[in-house]
Structure 1
């Protein structure tokens, strides 16, 4: 099979249906093609059906209806032939963490039947390709997230396939590692290999040659990314010169009928309008002389949110229920003074210093393994610093750890609630941990179930919740006791754009009430919500400032308006060059 431009069709999907149980189908009449020499983005939020569709393409599962043809093989009748010819990297890739990089390669070579005489040349090519030659003796469990994904890619390429299926390879990976993975995959398409790159990151969709955009099991769009972004052409505006709180203004604008979506971009606000001609009316509604609406380039995410009917609005019932925090004596709510953590001879965090005033969002950014999670854990009392001092709400984390922990709420990077307990039982448990009792305890639990729309799932085991609802539950548990400081460790990794906006609506509202937030994230657009950012690399803080200040540091005549991702990568590259000089 081939297309009009001569590119071979490697996968043909025709009316594919897959069900699990009696509910709505996981895949509902999905049709489309995947071609050689291209990256096809299988794009959509958690629960969209991406992993199910990939597993059907591998022949590991069978559809209830429809037909799947892979490399001219019928997926029902010829699954072994498909599995011998493709490369497949599952979402939770099966690396053996107690084996070294080389031992993992040896194992996968055995499983794929790679002849021993071919192995030295194949291993040399793959280790060069992934830049892992220096780490062949390192245990896979000791690799950073990005390096694990590179090793996973190498194992999937032990036998050069015509079709490579990658299930969310960028989840939890920092921007530098994601960019490196993209370059590797683009090199593969130059050899004619067809690549399916599954992702919930909508900025990754823009880099694909074609996309299959899915939501709740349905195919919403198939084609070039530009074909979708064209639907919001002329409707995307950037609001600058904001006077007063940009968070409060965004909340108000999101409740305007003329505004479909909006996010904070540093000191500006990015808006998607309902109609191209709505800009003047929105400008009048703001009614200040200093603000300006300037047309902005549409993004794939703008179009996707528009297709889903817009964002969740600007109202946060959680923030409305929050008692305002007093401004106090002006002392920072969170303080880091020379925080240092050593593990043996390795210094994970080296003299990290910053402070966060009340009612601000502070971001810790950095590549995987840079030291940001170590810094984060020291400040919320989970790790004892080797040197230096950390304070939360005035309490020293060494001497008064229990008092400090009672003043903060913590949402872990990975779902950390009790999977075998129900939603209501988790909330009840954490209410007790945070010292709530009696009527107050019952009131806060009922409020969390209502605000986060979890009443119908109250009796469900937490482990059975979809990812978006797990994140809601985790946030509900973290704010149960109205903490002064909120610690969020990559809180929205993998969730859909609507849930992410809902999440940040709550956070922005809480900050307006005086709550102080420390957040780590790999989403560079989320970093734009921060008042200030510390960029950590190799254990040190290499840059500190607002998002706009960090972007201004890397602006050039040929790149006058850099993105946060540009700033992230450029500042780290500059740090490496300085260290090498």
Structure 2
């Protein structure tokens, strides 16, 4: 039986002559040929996978797969989180290169490589330079490079990060088929808990320690009596925001509050009955007609439960209390702050966006969803003023974006997926630089910087270089920089990509708080469940808007509420089928 063994594993990074310990005597012995690893940023997931792949050497101790020391280089296929592709080479030349370094003759394997590319839908792009591929296509190519030499052991570091649900499904179909047909062993890391749940064994890491290791079903059984759904017919969105923004003040008996399929899913701190929780909630919500039911647990519930005692307390303390009257006032504001009218964007003969029209209201959380290459980023960049539409126009708070870019840029904040921070500047130098670029000077600049540093609890990291900041702190800093000039509109481009559930919850608490105060928030995300936080969202594919509206209006099938992910799959697949049929019918 395949398995994993860690025996008194010690590892430290050496930085500027100082040791930074990651693992201190890690011990583990498990059996299974499909193992998942999950945990917060900086927990040691990538380091452990690099040690298992032989890319790093333990300070002391052993890490073993299949009870053999990691010596058989050709038996391993390793896919790093940053993919490891050569952007200047073509798709096929990347495959040739990865075959060559494993002593496999590319010429003798050409048929296999072409079949692999066909399987992932990349065969017609085989001569394209990698830099021209979309993010999802690069993920698929990186997986092909990992599997090309038919390794018996595959080690995958976040293989689907930043990838849309359709591409994620395709990638996992390939992985599962490969494991089955080759009797292979696979260990992977992920921040998608539904992916971690696919494994036979799930390892939870935190601060270099294993806090749990068990089959997912065993973990789920432990929290069954803590999982409930809160259902109400009226003021659902207002109640969701009230729950989330006042969790620390009124609802400290709850570990988690999360929107799912038109209901509010709750995770209690302790096991309790429906009657006990009902009585507690009625004290706080005496005039609300609601119903409580037990629900099935998810691995995200397990994750939150395992981390609840140390669940980003510094971020939780920074959240403000916002009363429900402010929330309802913001949500009922019908003023359009963004008007997108018939925009179209062409790059040469390629049309990235087709005649898109929509509005965003003041204080609204608005989502842009779509597969990789659907035109989301192009639409996003046009709304930010970073690209000009080929046709159509965009009004931002009454300003024509074509004619008043400077005025518009003073009203928007932008948080990108990769966080545009300067690695060689300290945290404080970064925030001072961005304050100056937004036109803040003197007393106003000093007061605003100090307010945000304290509000986001960044003070302990002020003198730390950008490159040394923990990923979660980088995310907080990026958000603080975007809010320096008190923008009326905030753009978030996959800002939670790669974040664990705890960090995402805290991030969205902040977004809901900003929305309640009247800031309009436009988000793109590949975490489909995050769209449940949105007041409205649109789904687009191939530059065309497929649907637009509130989750409760769009996510319905046969009269029943369905998930955003199911809606996403259904809309995109229907559109692609119609497009294919129309193409076949044309002369």
TM-score (norm 1): 0.92
Query: Are the aligned partners of 2:246 and 2:321 in contact in 1 as well (CA < 8 Å)?
Result: no
Cα gap change, 1:165 to 1:14, in 2 (>3 Å)? same
Task: Please give the secondary structure, in 2, of the residue aligned with 1:307.
Answer: helix
Distance in 2 (CA, whole Å) between partners of 1:117 and 1:437 is 63
Query: Are the aligned partners of 1:250 and 1:269 in contact in 2 as well (CA < 8 Å)?
Result: no
The Cα of 1:23 is off from its aligned counterpart by: 6.5
Distance in 1 (CA, whole Å) between partners of 2:516 and 2:216 is 36
Q: Which residue of 1 aligns with 2:281?
A: 283
Task: Please give the secondary structure, in 2, of the residue aligned with 1:95.
Answer: coil
The Cα of 1:506 is off from its aligned counterpart by: 1.1
Cα gap change, 1:411 to 1:319, in 2 (>3 Å)? farther
Q: Which 10-residue stretch deviates more, 172-181 or 434-443? A: 434-443
Q: Which residue of 2 aligns with 1:3?
A: none
Q: Which residue of 2 aligns with 1:73?
A: 68
Query: Are the aligned partners of 1:250 and 1:262 in contact in 2 as well (CA < 8 Å)?
Result: yes
**Aligned equivalent of 2:199, options 208, 214, 234:** 208
Q: Which residue of 2 aligns with 1:97?
A: 87
Cα gap change, 1:138 to 1:319, in 2 (>3 Å)? farther
Q: Which 10-residue stretch deviates more, 369-378 or 206-215? A: 206-215
Q: Which 10-residue stretch deviates more, 274-283 or 511-520? A: 274-283
Q: Does 1:396 align with 2:412?
A: no
Q: Which residue of 1 aligns with 2:305?
A: 306
Task: Please give the secondary structure, in 1, of the residue aligned with 2:572.
Answer: helix
Task: Please give the secondary structure, in 1, of the residue aligned with 2:72.
Answer: helix
Q: Does 1:569 align with 2:560?
A: no
TM-superposition CA deviations, 1:446-488 (whole Å, max 9, x none): 1111111111111111122111110000000011111111111
> Matches of residues 97-496 of structure 1 in structure 2 within 5 Å?
97-115=87-105, 118-191=108-181, 192-241=183-232, 243-244=234-235, 245=238, 246-255=240-249, 256-265=251-260, 267-274=262-269, 275-277=271-273, 278-284=276-282, 285-309=284-308, 317=319, 330-496=334-500
Task: Please give the secondary structure, in 2, of the residue aligned with 1:234.
Answer: helix
The Cα of 1:282 is off from its aligned counterpart by: 3.4
Task: Please give the secondary structure, in 2, of the residue aligned with 1:239.
Answer: strand
Distance in 1 (CA, whole Å) between partners of 2:246 and 2:335 is 30
Cα gap change, 1:116 to 1:478, in 2 (>3 Å)? closer
TM-superposition CA deviations, 1:266-311 (whole Å, max 9, x none): 6532211123234223331222342222222211111111111265
**Aligned equivalent of 1:20, options 9, 13, 25:** 13
Task: Please give the secondary structure, in 2, of the residue aligned with 1:414.
Answer: coil
The Cα of 1:318 is off from its aligned counterpart by: 6.1
The Cα of 1:82 is off from its aligned counterpart by: 2.7
Q: Which residue of 1 aligns with 2:585?
A: none
Distance in 2 (CA, whole Å) between partners of 1:242 and 1:514 is 25
After superposition, the CA RMSD in angstroms is 2.3
Distance in 2 (CA, whole Å) between partners of 1:301 and 1:110 is 41
The Cα of 1:69 is off from its aligned counterpart by: 2.2
The Cα of 1:422 is off from its aligned counterpart by: 1.3
Q: Which residue of 2 aligns with 1:41?
A: 36
Cα gap change, 1:379 to 1:501, in 2 (>3 Å)? same
Q: Which runs of 5+ in 2 are unaligned?
A: 582-587
Q: Which runs of 5+ in 1 are unaligned?
A: 1-6, 76-80
Aligned residues: 562
Task: Please give the secondary structure, in 1, of the residue aligned with 2:210.
Answer: strand
